Structure 1
Amino acid sequence: MSADAKEYVAYYRVSTKRQGDSGLGLEAQRTYINHFYGGRNIIAEFTDVRSGRDIKNREQLLAALALCRQRKATLVVAKVDRLSRDTGQALWIYRELEERLESCDIPNLDKFTLTLFMAIADRERELTSIRTKVALVQKVKQSGEWREGSDSFRSGEASRMGTAVVRQVARRNTNSRQAMAQVRHLLAEGHNYSRIALQLNEHGFRAPRGGKYSAMQVKRLCERLAETEAAENQGS
């Protein structure tokens, strides 16, 4: 494929809703991509207002990955830390895209440079965490105060809430969420479960446990999608 025919999908991420509303950070990312990729064939843009710790809850990133897989497009970010703050997750994305990943801050990105940059970022976060913990210990020693468990911790409510969060994350299986955008499109076109399963498999989507989709798995995915949309409608 020639450089002119190459398709790109732009992905942006800001960490807080305040940044997303104000454009702080987001406009800078757009400026970088417009500078380096202006005039290129950018077919879509996706923006998440999420932390970079976990990709499972970033719906727009998963939708961007799904589109890249479907169109064999290249995902482009302004800075690699907008993609993820975890080395393993960044490499997973790199593999999922079959190396079709580019970042404005890393010219000629490959697996080695991606691993190196992410490892440096990981170490810096670890050192920051150590410095923060040491500072807290020193503050406690100086003030003589220790934090006490909250009412929810003592009552067991915190534990129950934690269990609920774990279950919620499990329901938001990364593979399933990657397929949802494509399922919506195929449902709108009137395809049945068997045909949707065939399309997902042909485009390289993986079922929750990593295998191929069956008609029954697509049916369950559609039911889950309907439940999610119903819940979102109630909350809006």
Structure 2
Amino acid sequence: MQRYVIYTRVSTDRQGQSGHGLAAQERDISLFLETYSEEPWEIIGEFQDVESGKHDDRPELAKALDLVRRTPGSELLVSKLDRLSRKVSFIASLIEDKRVRFRVASMPYADTFQLHIYSALAEQEREFISKRTKAALAEAKARGVKLGGDRGSLREANEAARASADVFARKVGPMIVPMRNQGMSLGKIAEALNEAGQPTSRDGRWTAKAVSRVLDRVS
């Protein structure tokens, strides 16, 4: 029997209380178990942290990994790789740990080598997003926009956000426009981007609406 230790993570207390993000993780994990898992299977533990993926010393993750190490043949199961960690170094350390096996529900056929490569690419993408946002804010500031916390700066902050979205749209537009020109629906394009591991500007999963917003910006 295949045994799983389920681990989920939300970034804030508000997400945990509202279920935002958690429902999607549970859905992905259920889909994996129903469609891709070896049978029969058993869940021997479930753990959840409310903490940023930037921190790897999470108490519930430590408990989940401890249970996996104490249960030969078991696997840690997460919905997405970034729920486990946002650091390629941490993913690499788990891959090298002979007592730990883990699976990613949204990438059911990925082996450890592919997961390592994906985590490295995702880390690069997050660094790019951070730099892009800083660049957009710097451009707004250079144009005389005052960036601050008062209510009068809301318009300027929105302008900076739009500039950042424009930069991202120009980056992914060359991937999206050809698919749209071939007659693919917005939903199918979103599926293709998710399967390719391309995150949205907020490091999330694509929807038809998100694809539409990019097309509006590059059209």
Does the pair score TM above 0.5?
Answer: yes
**Which residue matches 1:88?**
89
The answer to whether the 8 A contact 2:3-2:44 is kept is yes
**Which residue matches 1:67?**
67
Query: What's the CA shift string for 1:21-64, capped at 9, x where partnerless?
Result: 011111111111122215621111000111001211x1100110
**Which residue matches 1:10?**
6
The answer to whether the 8 A contact 1:13-1:82 is kept is yes
- Structure-1-length-normalised TM-score: 0.56
**Which residue matches 1:37?**
33
- The alignment yields a C-alpha RMSD, in angstroms, of 1.9
Q: What percent identity do the matched residue pairs reach?
A: 39
- Distance across 1 between alignment mates of 2:78 and 2:147: 43
The answer to whether the 8 A contact 2:65-2:100 is kept is no
**Which residue matches 2:120?**
119
Question: What secondary structure is seen at the aligned counterpart in 1 of 2:15?
Answer: helix
Cα distance, 1:146–1:28 mapped onto 2, change above 3 Å = closer
- Distance across 2 between alignment mates of 1:23 and 1:144: 36
Amino acid at match of 1:35: L
Query: What's the CA shift string for 1:105-145, capped at 9, x where partnerless?
Result: 22233221011111221121111111111112112212276
- Distance across 2 between alignment mates of 1:8 and 1:97: 17
- More deviation, 17-26/93-102: 93-102
- Distance across 1 between alignment mates of 2:68 and 2:45: 10
1:20 corresponds, among 12, 16, 23, to 16
- Distance across 1 between alignment mates of 2:145 and 2:23: 45
- Distance across 1 between alignment mates of 2:16 and 2:95: 26
Matches within 5 A, 1:166-181: none
Gaps of 5+ in 1: 148-236
The answer to whether the 8 A contact 1:99-1:110 is kept is no
Shift of 1:97: 5.4
Shift of 1:15: 1.0
1:141 and 2:137 correspond: no
Question: What secondary structure is seen at the aligned counterpart in 2 of 1:44?
Answer: strand
- Distance across 1 between alignment mates of 2:68 and 2:142: 53
Query: Over alpha carbons, which structure has the higher Rg?
Result: 1
Query: What's the CA shift string for 1:128-181, capped at 9, x where partnerless?
Result: 11111111211221227699xxxxxxxxxxxxxxxxxxxxxxxxxxxxxxxxxx
- Structure-2-length-normalised TM-score: 0.60
Query: What's the CA shift string for 1:173-194, capped at 9, x where partnerless?
Result: xxxxxxxxxxxxxxxxxxxxxx
Question: What secondary structure is seen at the aligned counterpart in 2 of 1:21?
Answer: helix
The answer to whether the 8 A contact 2:88-2:123 is kept is yes
Amino acid at match of 1:12: T
